[in-house]
Amino acid sequence: MARPRLRPERPMRTEPAQRVRETAEGAGRRRFFGTDGIRGEVGLPPMTPEWVLKLGWAAGCVLGRDQAHRGVVIGKDTRNSGYLFESALESGLSAAGASVFLLGPFPTPGVSYLTTAIGAAAGVVISASHNPYEDNGIKFFGPDGRKLPDALEREIEERLQEPLKLVSLGTLGQVRRLDDANERYLDFCLASVPADMSLSGWTICVDCAHGATYRLAPALFERLGARVIPIGVDPNGVNINHEVGSLHPETLARTVLAHRADLGVAFDGDGDRVILVDAGGEIVDGDAVLYILACDRLAEHRLHGPVVGTVMSNLGLEESLRERQIPFCRAPVGDRHVLARLEAEGGVLGGESSGHVIHLDLSPTGDGLITALQVIRAIWREARPLSSLLSGLNRYPQKTVNIAWPRDCGLPDSQEMSPDLESARRLLGSPARILIRPSGTEPLLRVTVEGGEAGTLEQATRQLVERLTELRDAAR
């Protein structure tokens, strides 16, 4: 077989929908920053303690340029490597003259909130989100609580090429704990729902993925009066996301049924995603959450602009929203792209199938706790079970398979794949969508196939995966 032609990373889309333009121009020119900060295996470049120390210094020089006295907030998830990188970051930031406020294990959206709440120059999260514990990562927020623009990320990378220069001893940054962080963030979350909303009489199973929400999430729902059944709340440094949390909602589904709970809520390792489970044990993903929240906002005249999904969003979501006269548009995968599209279109609600949902009028970043509260608010306001709120949502069969794919390997040329794609389309019939794209956070190629019936969907997916695996192996 001839060696396959490879081309730069760009999703291979075969559905007839309009192409979505990348919103982060120049992202490909960044060496270390990906779609969600910097991420990699601990101990291998760039996730080494000496490199992260230099990163802290470079970020301190850029982000604290004229406001070093305002400090930088640092939170982390529960990976044991978080202690290593926390110390390295605070040393680098201090060397640049930036003071540091440590939060300890804390949800990513909570870091975003506290960055703005205390007027910090920046926020930093040490987390690899849904990745296994062997990985870790660093992501930054600006003083407005939003992910850094590409220009600032490139400037930090440029500063990394310079030798580390220590500020004068009298201006070294100081390090302290922010002792009231938990209470401030819980109050912020609770302010997003009516003050008279009570969950007295409810039983809620809460799966924290042994991650950053393990203290805060159970406390949040208990404050509202619910009986909480906690799982995934015993982090040991290496069990984050392991068979629990939003990556494995089947664990939560079993717990909901065993306790005859009213609802289940599962977060990912850093708390910016949430997946729900209804009383019957059915899993409610990010597409279903978007549908519920869009309909709830529409009923209360709180929906502005279009709902923004991604190229991964189920076609059934788009059609179901259209039936309610709710406009819908798609962005590339990644919360920064969803946010950019929301701002461009004047929208307030957007998200991903993974459960990463942005409520732009409540928070500038995806927040799993706030998303869960908004769904519960809809259930409480309608006085109907979660399953009933989904009665108008139609879904097409969809399957996503991950293939190990080296980071330096682009997508197979579309001409190389053309016969295989055409064969898959014939199996699926119409409507159908096929999306092949590289992961922005892991060395994987994600293959998503949508349409047809269960049997044809499995067959089409299997054929595509086999062909892509052949092309990958031949290209090595």
Active-site pick, 127, 129, 353, 363: 129
The vertex-298 CA angle with 296 and 302, nearest 5°, equals 95
In 10 A of CB 93, how many CB atoms? Answer: 32
- Token pair 């009231």: residue: 180
Q: At what angle do helices 286-299 and 368-382 cross, to 10 degrees?
A: 50
313 is catalytic: no
What is the spatial distance between Cα 271 and Cα 445, in angstroms, rounded to a whole number?
A: 24
Three-state SS annotation for the chain: CCCCCEECCCCEECCCCCCCCCCCCCHHHCCCCECCEEEEECCCCCCCHHHHHHHHHHHHHHHCCCCHHHCEEEEECCCCHHHHHHHHHHHHHHHCCCCEEEEEECCHHHHHHHHHHCCCCEEEEECCCCCCCCEEEEEEECCCCCECCHHHHHHHHHHHCCCCCCCCHHHCCCEEECCCHHHHHHHHHHCCCCCCCCCCCCEEEEECCCCCCCCHHHHHHHHCCCEEEEECCCCCCCCCCCCCCCCCHHHHHHHHHHHCCCEEEEECCCCCCEEEEECCCCEECHHHHHHHHHHHHHHCCCCCCCEEEECCCCHHHHHHHHHCCCCEEEECCCHHHHHHHHHHHCCCEEECCCCCEEECCCCCCCCHHHHHHHHHHHHHHHCCCHHHHCCCCCCCCEEEEEEECCCCCCEECHHHHHHHHHHHHHHHCCCEEEEEEECCCCCEEEEEEEECCHHHHHHHHHHHHHHHHHHHHHHC
Q: Which residues form the catalytic set?
A: 129
